Amino acid sequence: MLSLETDVKYIKGVGEARAKLFAKLGITTLRDLITNFPRAYDDRTVIKRIRDLVDGERVCVWATVATVPKYSHIRRGLDLIKVRVVDEINTMNITFFNQSYVKEQLIPGESYIFYGKVTGQPGRPEMTNPVFEREGVETLTGRIVPIYHSTAGLYQNVIRKCVSQGLRECGDRLPNPLPDKVQIENNLAQSRFSYENIHFPKSYEALELARKRLIFEEFFVLSCALSIFRERKGEKKGYPMNPPDLSQFTSRLPYSLTGAQKRAIDDAFSDMSGQRPMSRLIQGDVGSGKTVIAAACCWNAAKNGYQAAFMAPTEILAEQHYATLRDMLEPLGIRTELLVGGQTAKVKRTVLENLKFGLTQVIVGTHALISKDVEYNNLGLVIADEQHRFGVSQRAALTEKGESPHVLVMSATPIPRTLALIVYGDLDVSVIDEMPPGRQKVDTFAVGEGMRNRIYAFMRKQVSQGHQVFVVCPAVEENEEIQDNIKSAKEYAKELSQQIFPDLSVGLVHGKMKPKEKNDVMSRFVSGDINILVATTVIEVGVDVPNATLMVVENGDRFGLSQLHQLRGRVGRGKSKSYCVIFEGAGGDKARERLKVMCSTNDGFKIAEEDLKLRGPGDFFGSRQHGLPEMRIASFATDMDVLVSAREAAEKVLKTDPELSSKENQMLRKSIEKLIRDNEGTLN
């Protein structure tokens, strides 16, 4: 028996050459090989007679070779083998391209099972390059066959044989981190059964039992790892802060806080008064009033003699937050300053000096806040807005500017709560689930191309009433997209300004522009100089233009629902009635069904649940930004019910054995340590 960490090249049937091909798939050890689960399965359990074949289906057919396979050399690089097969009544022609060895393998008078796609005229079926084997073998046919991710030169048959050999080599050393008690309480299959049936299922029932066990196991280990990782982080000593009388802060606000805002502030103040550093996520829909919670926390830090740093993903957003926080905090005697890349050297120098010597109590900025030349006098609180737009390393770099400061992260991207508990495993979660009074509901419509002229007329009407319009495109330039009919921001802005609305002011903003250019355009839009702003998703987060009452989204099929919800949140921020119009694009009925969700609700959490089912967590967090290891079999999109059970089981085990020191938890402990070690730069 081999160790799970044995180099894959030592497994019988692999060797040096194939090991290099496996390495391209990230498979370097025996463990990697057996946990490289199939991406799909071919159902080859149904075996039909020739007369029952249907054009276009992939199916197994039983037949006897009736003729000697005929070889033809067509030209260089193209050989054909043609053969006729029969059952008791009907015949079928089979063609093989560039598989001359088939001539020796198909013996007239012998019976085989052929698996492939049926083509040809009714009553005259054909197959091209089918998989085949002798009747009764049932290695490639007559069963459920796994399909793996592959690479050039590494064929499915080879991968299957290597995996099968790998399972044999493991013996009783298969990964098995689940304690027996957890396995029994959750009615889960044994480890050996699960590995054999995930790779080579005896039936669909066996496959489902195997999947359930392995998905549960993956979520269970992840939940344990995050809890332990969080405990380790919690061992750091924080800055205990005495909560001031909140009424001193709220009495200066021109509005009353909602119950959800008060609860979130209470949660944060309670955390900040403890010995451990606060690690809290404030999650609320667009317009739910998260900034006032951040302001209250900054006020708390300043009242206790500490500095607060507020990091936003863009300069535009940083400037807006700065203006908001300054208006709230400076009347309370708290000096607030801005630090962004676009400032002059002289302004930056002054800001940095004030920060270093403690004259500035609250600093708002972009990633400029984590530059090497930025020194803090006494950093006690770090706030990151739109957390999913920062890499975990950026958040960590900001916290390292102090000695274990309190951390508050905010997100307007609604995330289903269970997913948030996993994704932000090192954070407590406060959800703001009610909107401030007066927040507008945005009427949303998904329309086809036939409505374009009416929408143009509606855009003109909004402008004539003194309002402004956003138009969002999925691409910056035409050559970014191969598909036809994709609206590009540059070309479309030109078309709108020159042909459709030559009498109106049309602006353009996109991610490829220099920060100063973007800021200039956005400033003109905010001040009302621009009537219609054509943009890419650069305006998705945070831009506050109360006078904008219409959001038009082109090619709606190119966006995730959560992204569309964020875009819709750019309007409805003032007192006037607001609208969102989404052109369906070329997505057909599927896109139309998806967009119905947008039209039926303004609840970001309901939309997030639907988006999670449709697109998975990538749409929420971007690639590798979410601080999670890659899942081998579990899916955050489809396996949420298993995630809940696994998390509960993990909490139960850690409650009775926090150090995982008992004998039955040793395999679990090793799996967790490996997960944390392998993802040291991710779980942060």
Burial 35-59 (b: 16+ CB within 10 A, else e): bbbbeeebebeeeeebeebeeeeeb
Phi/psi at 14 (nearest 5 deg)? -100, -75
pLDDT (0 to 100) of residue 512: 80
Distance CA 156, CA 120 (A): 27
pLDDT per position as a tens digit, 64-93: 999 999 999 989 889 999 999 999 889 999
* Helix (H), strand (E) at residue 144: strand 144-147
Phi/psi at 592 (nearest 5 deg)? -60, -45
pLDDT (0 to 100) of residue 418: 58
Distance CA 47, CA 59 (A): 7
Distance CA 450, CA 77 (A): 50
Distance CA 133, CA 111 (A): 9
| Tally of residues, the chain | 684
Asked if 327 and 320 touch (Cβ cutoff 8 Å), the reply is no
Asked if 323 and 525 touch (Cβ cutoff 8 Å), the reply is no
Pairing mode, if any, of strands 78-86 and 70-75?
Answer: antiparallel
Structure token digits, residue 314: 């863009």
Distance CA 87, CA 68 (A): 16
Distance CA 70, CA 73 (A): 10
Distance CA 292, CA 335 (A): 17
pLDDT (0 to 100) of residue 684: 47
pLDDT (0 to 100) of residue 460: 96
Angle at 677 between CA 674 and CA 681, to 5 degrees: 145
Structure token digits, residue 560: 């995730």
Long-range contacts of 456-462, Cβ-Cβ distance < 8 Å, separation of 24 or more: 456/500, 456/501, 458/550, 458/579, 458/581, 459/501, 459/532, 459/550, 459/552, 460/501, 460/504, 462/549, 462/550
Q: Which residues contact 273 (CB under 8 A, 6 or more apart)?
A: 240, 241, 242, 243
Q: Give the residue from 586, 280, 640, 241 showing the smallest Cα distance to 431.
A: 280
When computed from its CA atoms, the radius of gyration of the chain, rounded to whole angstroms, is 31
Sign of the C-alpha dihedral computed for residues 633, 636, 637 and 639 taken in this order: positive
DSSP string, 487-515: PBHHHHHHHIIIII-TTS-EEEE-TTS-H
Q: From the centroid of its chain, how far is CA 1?
A: 39
Distance CA 485, CA 469 (A): 22
Describe the crossing of helices 604-615 and 588-600 by its angle, rounded to 10 degrees.
160
Pairing mode, if any, of strands 131-134 and 111-121?
Answer: antiparallel
Distance CA 175, CA 198 (A): 14
Q: What DSSP character marks residue 29?
A: B
pLDDT (0 to 100) of residue 679: 67
Q: What DSSP character marks residue 68?
A: P
Q: Give the residue from 681, 680, 679, 675 showing the smallest Cα distance to 223.
A: 675
Q: Dihedral angle at the C-alpha atoms of 210, 114, 55, 80, nearest 10 degrees?
A: 130
Asked if 284 and 332 touch (Cβ cutoff 8 Å), the reply is no
Q: How far is CA 529 from CA 467, 505, 539, 547, 672, in A?
A: 11, 7, 17, 12, 57
Q: Give the residue from 679, 678, 635, 672 showing the smallest Cα distance to 393.
A: 679
pLDDT (0 to 100) of residue 302: 95
Q: Give the residue from 533, 280, 524, 235 showing the smallest Cα distance to 407.
A: 280
Q: Give the residue from 559, 567, 266 showing the smallest Cα distance to 428.
A: 266
Domains in the chain: ranges and CATH: 8-40+151-201 (no CATH), 46-142 (2.40.50.140), 247-274+291-411 (3.40.50.300), 443-601 (3.40.50.300)
Asked if 399 and 375 touch (Cβ cutoff 8 Å), the reply is no
Amino acid of residue 12: K
Q: Give the residue from 93, 110, 94, 103 showing the smallest Cα distance to 71.
A: 103
For the chain, which residues score pLDDT lower than 50? 388-391, 479-483, 618-627, 681-684
pLDDT (0 to 100) of residue 625: 39
pLDDT (0 to 100) of residue 542: 52
pLDDT per position as a tens digit, 537-552: 766 555 678 899 999 9
Pairing mode, if any, of strands 579-583 and 548-553?
Answer: parallel
Distance CA 418, CA 654 (A): 19
